[in-house]
Each structure stands twice: as structure tokens, then as C-alpha cells.
Amino acid sequence: NAGVMQNPRHLVRRRGQEARLRCSPMKGHSHVYWYRQLPEEGLKFMVYLQKENIIDESGMPKERFSAEFPKEGPSILRIQQVVRGDSAAYFCASSPPGVANEKLFFGSGTQLSVL
């Protein structure tokens, strides 16, 4: 049973380019969360999605950032026109439907570096 898969593990972009981060949740999990970890800081919530729906995007920057979780395929976090301040580790987590045991399953993260 594969865990939460994120790719790529490392992504290098130049300022102004677009970054696409992918997250495949665990099998049977329909809820996806994205978190960002800036250097020397804890993880910060960005967005919570269910299949084809954004449930809570209160942690997303208002511009340049978007997320989707289509009916088929992985969840995508998209950052347009990246800036140096976007350099961070981006983690995806998934959970099955319902509260279950309040356990999130995290991927290994994507380290985004903006030159």
C-alpha cells in the first residue's frame, strides 16, 4: 500500500516561471491538505481539498497560488510567476473520508528552490 506520493522531490525554477507540484494521496483517501514549510519555521496550512472541491483555502496567498484535486489524477499545487520568497518545502497530506482517527498521512515533500 503506497503512501502519499509527491513529485518532484526537488524543483528548481527561475523567477517568473511556473511551478507545479503533484500529490497522489493514499489509496482510498479523498481529502488532501497542502502545507508549506519555510526555513526555520513550522508547517503552515495552505489549502484543504476534496475531490473536485476546494473546502478551505484560507492559508493560500491571494495571488499566484492555486490548487486543484480533480476527479481523476493527483492534486496539483500551482505557483505562477515564482519569486524567491516561494522557496520552501511543500508538503501534501491525505486522509480518508470522515474524522476517522484524526490521522494525517504526509508525503515526503517537494523542495522548491527559486533562483
Partner 1 sequence: GNSVTQMEGPVTLSEEAFLTINCTYTATGYPSLFWYVQYPGEGLQLLLKATKADDKGSNKGFEATYRKETTSFHLEKGSVQVSDSAVYFCALSDGRTDSWGKLQFGAGTQVVVTP
Can you say how many angstroms the Cα of residue 71 is from the centroid of all Cα atoms in its chain?
17
53, 56, 70, 115: which one contacts partner 1 (CB under 8 A)? 56
11, 19, 21, 95: which one contacts partner 1 (CB under 8 A)? 95
CA–CA distances in Å: residue 105 to residues 19, 25, 56? 23, 8, 18
Spatial distance between the Cα atoms of 75 and 52, rounded to a whole number of angstroms: 10
In this complex, which beta carbon is closest to partner 1, that of residue 41 or of residue 72?
41
Regarding 84 and contact with partner 1 (CB under 8 A), the answer is no
Interactions with partner 1, residue window 21-40 (CB under 8 A)? 31, 33, 35, 40
Phi, psi of 33 (to 5 degrees): -125, 140
**In the complex, which residues of this chain contact partner 1 (CB under 8 A)?**
3-4, 6, 31, 33, 35, 40-45, 48, 56, 91, 93, 95, 99, 102-109
